[in-house]
């Protein structure tokens, strides 16, 4: 039986919008052969339907040692690495840079060596949410701030900045952080994409990501002018100019010594920097929301990609109409990931799909009543056919994460 007490109100970000970096086309062209060779050596919706393959065809085996053998996908991830002090691609021959991607919610990850310490690629990735980190084993650069990206089919291009370690370069760099909130609900917005463009001859753009608290941080910025643009599906973009010179200006606000505070970056490291304040984003879609997450079985293993599911909708917990299937026969991808968009506000659960043609009825729902004869909730029979064990509340303009099931 599912009741109000089981409601999940956690909020999670949908995928960030990706910019195309035309200014680096010549770089990717010149490094294409190197990237392909390195990849061979290192192994490297509008719609309501969830993302992921339907399991109707068997893909070629993936090259990832710790990914399932069927975990090939349709995503190519290309990246460039830049030095924040020179504001150009890294040229150090003393660095030894590695890039690691981790599929969020699983133990699957992969590490590759950057080509000439400045570029990297991953091929045939399954769709889903990844954490991307960069480490320099040569000791020239500090580790990157972890970057969260939701990768969808196609090519994704990223630019990741690195700050030289103290003593390895002459620089007067500063750290900054800010909080991104929903303008109407004042809730933190998670996994919003922060594009930072350095206003110089190259107009170099790199990325950051908001955390569960809505915070993002920019580490090791040198003097100059930066355009900070925050984007998130379902919200109007926010853009401000950050000027670092003899004084610091963020938009029309002067940032002073009193704004210096301690914060934690995406890796949990405590740092000191200037607080840029709260940035409010206005919802673009006011009447629909979404669900996203990884579905695991009792052994904490992603459910098979061939599993057919019903997404069940209940307008309110005591709605006399009762729950019903809003999207039938959906399937996760090979890592158990599902994503739904454009859902009306209400309560949702996922269950093994009913087949009314065969028929195969995996679940039924019936009302429960209080002492006064009023509907107090709805019970599913059998409860074992539920993939999610709690009601998942969808709020307009936001995406609710599917929590790990107990």
140-190 pLDDT tens trace:
998 888 888 878 778 889 999 888 886 544 345 789 999 999 887 788 888
Same domain flag for 47 and 131: yes
DSSP code, position 127: S
3-state DSSP assignment of residue 164? strand
- Of the residues 221, 256, 281, the one at which a domain ends: 281
Measured CA to CA, the distance from residue 54 to residue 70 in angstroms comes to 12
- Please give the mean pLDDT across all residues of the chain: 78
Nearest Cα to Cα of residue 152 among 52, 237, 69, 63: 52
Handedness of CA 327, 332, 336, 341 (dihedral sign): negative
- CATH number of the CATH domain containing 228: 2.60.40.10
Say if 181 falls within a structural domain.
yes
Q: Is the confidence at residue 96, as pLDDT, over 90?
A: yes
Say if 121 falls within a structural domain.
yes
Find out whether the peptide bond into 359 is cis, omega within 30 degrees of 0: yes
- Torsion angle in degrees (nearest 10) through CA of 125, 130, 131, 133: 20
270-310 pLDDT tens trace:
889 999 999 999 877 667 888 988 898 888 888 898 899 98
- pLDDT given at position 406: 61
Q: Is the confidence at residue 4, as pLDDT, over 50?
A: no
Say if 137 falls within a structural domain.
yes
Say if 186 falls within a structural domain.
yes
Same domain flag for 266 and 315: no
If one counts the domains in the chain, the total is 3
Same domain flag for 183 and 272: yes
- Of the residues 166, 182, 207, the one at which a domain ends: 166
- CATH number of the CATH domain containing 114: 2.60.40.1120
Q: Is the confidence at residue 405, as pLDDT, over 50?
A: yes
Same domain flag for 209 and 335: no
- pLDDT given at position 151: 82
Query: Domain of 99?
Result: 17-166
Q: Is the confidence at residue 6, as pLDDT, over 60?
A: no
181-233 pLDDT tens trace:
988 778 888 888 999 998 875 778 898 888 878 899 998 888 889 999 999 87
Global confidence as pTM: 0.60
Please name every residue paired with 157 in a beta bridge, in sequence order, or none if there are none. Answer: 78
**Beta-carbon count within 10 A of 171 CB:** 17
Same domain flag for 31 and 99: yes
Judge whether 397 and 361 are in contact, CB under 8 Å. no
Say if 205 falls within a structural domain.
yes
Please name every residue paired with 76 in a beta bridge, in sequence order, or none if there are none. Answer: 155
pLDDT band of residue 1 (cuts 50, 70, 90) is: very low
- Torsion angle in degrees (nearest 10) through CA of 23, 27, 29, 30: 150
Measured CA to CA, the distance from residue 134 to residue 157 in angstroms comes to 15
- The distance between the two most distant Cα atoms of the chain, rounded to a whole number of Å, is 77
Same domain flag for 32 and 123: yes
Same domain flag for 103 and 21: yes
Say if 406 falls within a structural domain.
no
Return the exposure string of 2-19: e unless at least 16 CB atoms fall within 10 Å of the residue's CB, then b: beeebebeebbbbbbebb
Same domain flag for 45 and 186: no
- Of the residues 116, 144, 166, the one at which a domain ends: 166
Same domain flag for 215 and 299: no
DSSP code, position 302: B
Say if 82 falls within a structural domain.
yes
Same domain flag for 178 and 269: yes
Give the CA distances from residue 82 to residues 85, 92, 204, 362, in Å, rounded to whole numbers and listed in that order: 9, 11, 9, 53
Same domain flag for 28 and 158: yes
- CATH number of the CATH domain containing 313: 2.60.40
Same domain flag for 70 and 193: no
Say if 206 falls within a structural domain.
yes
């Amino acid at each position: 039986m599912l009741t109000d007490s089981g409601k999940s109100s956690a909020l999670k970000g949908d995928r960030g919008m990706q910019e195309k970096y035309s200014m680096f086309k010549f770089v990717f062209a010149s490094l294409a052969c190197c990237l392909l060779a390195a990849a061979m050596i290192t192994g490297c919706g509008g719609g309501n339907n969830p993302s992921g393959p339907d399991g109707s065809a068997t893909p070629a085996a993936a090259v990832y040692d710790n990914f399932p053998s069927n975990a090939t996908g349709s995503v190519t991830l290309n990246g460039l690495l830049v030095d924040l002090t020179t504001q150009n691609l890294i040229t150090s021959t003393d660095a030894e840079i590695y890039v690691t991607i981790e599929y969020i919610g699983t133990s699957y990850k992969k590490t590759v060596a950057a080509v000439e310490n400045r570029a990297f690629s991953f091929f045939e990735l399954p769709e889903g949410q990844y954490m991307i980190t960069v480490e320099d084993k040569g000791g020239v650069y500090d580790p990157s701030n972890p970057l969260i990206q939701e990768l969808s089919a196609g090519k994704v291009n990223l630019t990741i900045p690195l700050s030289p370690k103290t003593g390895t370069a002459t620089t007067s760099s500063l750290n900054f952080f800010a909080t991104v909130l929903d303008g109407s609900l004042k809730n933190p917005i998670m996994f919003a994409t922060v594009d930072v463009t350095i206003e110089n001859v190259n107009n170099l753009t790199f990325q950051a990501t908001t955390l569960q608290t809505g915070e993002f941080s920019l580490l090791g910025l040198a003097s100059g002018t930066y355009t900070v643009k925050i984007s998130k599906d379902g919200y109007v973009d926010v853009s401000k100019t950050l000027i670092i010179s003899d004084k610091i200006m963020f938009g029309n606000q002067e940032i002073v010594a009193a704004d210096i505070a301690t914060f934690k970056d995406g890796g949990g490291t405590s740092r000191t920097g200037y607080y840029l304040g709260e940035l409010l984003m206005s919802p673009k879609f006011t009447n629909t929301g979404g669900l996203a997450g990884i579905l695991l079985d009792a052994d904490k293993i992603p459910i098979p990609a061939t599993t057919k599911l019903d997404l069940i909708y209940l307008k309110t917990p005591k709605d006399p109409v009762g729950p019903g299937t809003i999207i039938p026969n959906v399937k996760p991808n090979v890592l158990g990931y599902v994503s739904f968009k454009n859902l009306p506000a209400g309560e949702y659960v996922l269950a093994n799909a009913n087949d009314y043609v065969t028929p195969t009825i995996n679940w039924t729902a019936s009302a429960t009543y209080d002492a006064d004869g009023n509907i107090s909730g709805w019970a599913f029979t059998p409860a074992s056919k539920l993939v999610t064990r709690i009601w998942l509340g969808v709020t307009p303009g936001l995406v609710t994460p599917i929590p790990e099931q107990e």
